[in-house]
Amino acid sequence: MKPDYHVVTLFPEMFAALTDFGVSGRAVKQKLCSVKFWNPRDFTQDNYHSVDDRPFGGGPGMVMLVEPLDLALTAAKTTLLRQGVVSPRMIYLSPQGRRLDQALVLELVSEQALVLLAGRYEGIDERLFARHSIEEVSLGDYVLSGGELPAMVLLDAVIRQIPGALGHAESANEDSFADGLLDCPHYTRPEAYLGLKSPPVLRGGNHAEVTRWRLREALKRTSLRRPDLLEQRKMSPLEIELLGEISREADLE
């Protein structure tokens, strides 16, 4: 069964950037996965299709109503149940949640289905968590205007991991964080540009040397930009050797 992704959002049209373009758009067109949308406004009971109201206790902003969201999530779950998915993983995009990283992405790509909730305004009525088993996922320690952009980021990261989504099967394995390191620098034609030359090792044809250079540069970049990733890494003998070279090189500068 291909992965089935459902998104509850007030602005499904925003997701055209995901479903119509790039790697994710190609994956959808090739039916490697499907993305469906549920607009809470379609589940409202009043003439104004209200989806928010003032918070109890006062304060600024508005809170999304529990009923339209509850009905939209239930509709998504019911659709998946008919397809044999009993308990889809449900995610609310929120700055209060678990940080999205490559480990979580790899968890999610193994799921048969995901139901994402993109909130708006000051947030959602807390009673929604009592009605559904929802986990919270965050892009980082900052606040956006809504959950649509985080939902698109999450889906893009997951969809590119689906077999066949990328032009080269090994591309996903060479991304930053795929093996716990930042990516190495990349170069293409011309060999020299305005006096800036590409590394000769990449043009020498020795695949073993290229592999060693790329690992060394990935370690160097990670040590400079994200040393925390190295602190939690179990180093191979080659990585220890290369880090020693990098350290000695830095001492000479």
Spell out the domain ranges in the chain.
4-159, 176-252
Measured between alpha carbons, how far is 9 from 118 in angstroms, rounded to an integer?
5
Q: What is the 3-state secondary structure (H, E, C) of 97-119?
A: EEECCHHHHHHHHCCCEEEEECC
Q: Which candidate in 67, 156, 175, 239 is catalytic?
A: 175
Confidence band of 85 (pLDDT split at 50, 70, 90): very high
Topology of domain 176-252, CATH: Trp Operon Repressor; Chain A (1.10.1270)
Nearest to 152 by CA among 128, 118, 103, 189: 118
For the beta carbon of residue 185, count every other beta carbon within 10 angstroms: 13
Q: Which candidate in 4, 68, 148, 160 is catalytic?
A: 160
The pLDDT tens digits of the residues spanning 143-188 come to: 999 999 999 999 999 999 999 999 766 566 656 566 889 999 999 9
pTM of the prediction?
Answer: 0.89
What is the Rg, in whole angstroms, of the alpha carbon atoms belonging to the chain? 23
Look up 131 and say whether it is catalytic. no
Look up 216 and say whether it is catalytic. no
Look up 95 and say whether it is catalytic. yes
Q: Which candidate in 95, 111, 136, 239 is catalytic?
A: 95
The pLDDT tens digits of the residues spanning 203-252 come to: 999 999 999 999 999 999 999 999 999 998 999 999 999 999 999 998 88
Q: What is the pLDDT of residue 167?
A: 77
Q: What average pLDDT does range 61-88 have in this prediction? A: 97
Please state which architecture CATH assigns to domain 4-159: 3-Layer(aba) Sandwich (3.40)
Look up 249 and say whether it is catalytic. no
Q: What is the pLDDT of residue 173?
A: 60
Q: Which candidate in 122, 156, 174, 183 is catalytic?
A: 122
Nearest to 68 by CA among 59, 80, 76, 58: 76
The pLDDT tens digits of the residues spanning 93-125 come to: 999 999 999 999 999 999 999 999 999 999 999
Helix (H) or strand (E) holding 22: helix 22-29
Using a 10 angstrom Cβ sphere, with 0-12 exposed, 13-18 middle and 19 or more buried, the burial of residue 17 is: middle
Residue 61: left (phi > 0), alpha (psi -120 to 50), or beta? left
Centroid of chain to Cα 170: 19
